[in-house]
Amino acid sequence: MKSLRYWFDSKYDKVNATVDNTIDWFRIIPFIALHLACLAVFWVGVSPVALITAALLYFIRMFAITAFYHRYFAHKSFKTSRPVQFIFAAIGACSTQRGPIWWAAHHRQHHRHADTASDPHSPNDGFLWSHLGWFLTKRYFQADYRLVKDLTRYPELRWLDRFDIAMPAILAIALFGFGEWLNWIKPEWQTNGWQMLVWGYFISTVVLLHATLLINSLAHKWGKRRYNTEDGSRNNFWLALLTLGEGWHNNHHYHASSARQGFYWWEIDISFYLLVLMKKLGLIWDMRTISAEKRDHRAGIRVIK
């Protein structure tokens, strides 16, 4: 039974961390179950309110991943208060993409070694490896926390990181209760707890997860290169729409610390627009962007900050 702690406590058996690239099949049973649970849609059906809930949760959690897990925690593109930091860390954790410290540590390693043998998810090792194979292995279950000492000083972030299943579980329970409540007060909406759970958590989360992972697997292979960076990063309009701005990946690898990844007005970057709104509301400040001079220097070499 002790082995079940792998599913609930990510620091369990940390001393036995390994560089083994084989898939840890027992540990990823919940990941497999997450995908299989989507098949329950054939039993629970669909309703407009379930679809709206799934779409809203996709959007909100994608923003938490792109704007906070990525641009804030990994790259320190802006500053914010500790309460706002925790709120969006918790929302990001609801995405079932592990905790903010683990996520940021691996992403910083990616930028240090992009598209080399030391990159955790280089697409040079194949689509499946860069898309999901890497984080299913024993090797990358833990992270190099020396890269994120600025984050490990917060006990609340360490808690989210250690018990990374907690926020997804809370979201799933809340969605089931929400669906049952709607079934009671609005039976004409034709929804219930199980339907809301399947659409609001399982389907929405799986789509969100794979949309995020496409940046690892496709954004270094599919698209256009504006800048001569030392990696294979590409700009891709469709990925940018799907991920609220993350598809401008060649821009990002050229100037990683910028909170704005769509450098030009025609490059849609929804996460940046929302960050601008948050700045106007005083929720974030000291937002870093790219100068026009550097942006327009097309032959530049990547600067990692």
For the chain of 305 residues, list the mean pLDDT of each consecutive stretch of 10: 68 60 86 97 97 98 98 98 98 96 95 89 88 89 91 96 95 98 96 98 98 95 92 95 97 96 96 98 97 80 41
CA distance from start to end of the chain? 44
By three-state DSSP, how is residue 248 classified? Answer: strand
Task: Please give the single-letter amino acid code of residue 253.
Answer: H
DSSP output for 127-171: HHIIIIIGGGBSTTSS--GGGGHHHHT-HHHHHHHHTTTHHHHHH
Determine the pLDDT at residue 243. 98
Determine the pLDDT at residue 170. 97
Determine the pLDDT at residue 302. 45
Determine the pLDDT at residue 253. 96
Q: Report in angstroms the alpha-carbon separations of 229 from 93, 211, 225, 241.
A: 31, 24, 9, 23
In which element (H, E) is residue 42 found? helix 41-44
Determine the pLDDT at residue 118. 86
Whole-prediction pTM = 0.93
In which element (H, E) is residue 289 found? none
Tokens, residue 5: 């702690």
Kindly report the length of the chain: 305
Determine the pLDDT at residue 103. 97
* Residue keyed to tokens 């000083």: 153
Determine the pLDDT at residue 139. 86
Tokens, residue 258: 């910028």
Report the distance separating Cα 128 and Cα 220, nearest Å.
13
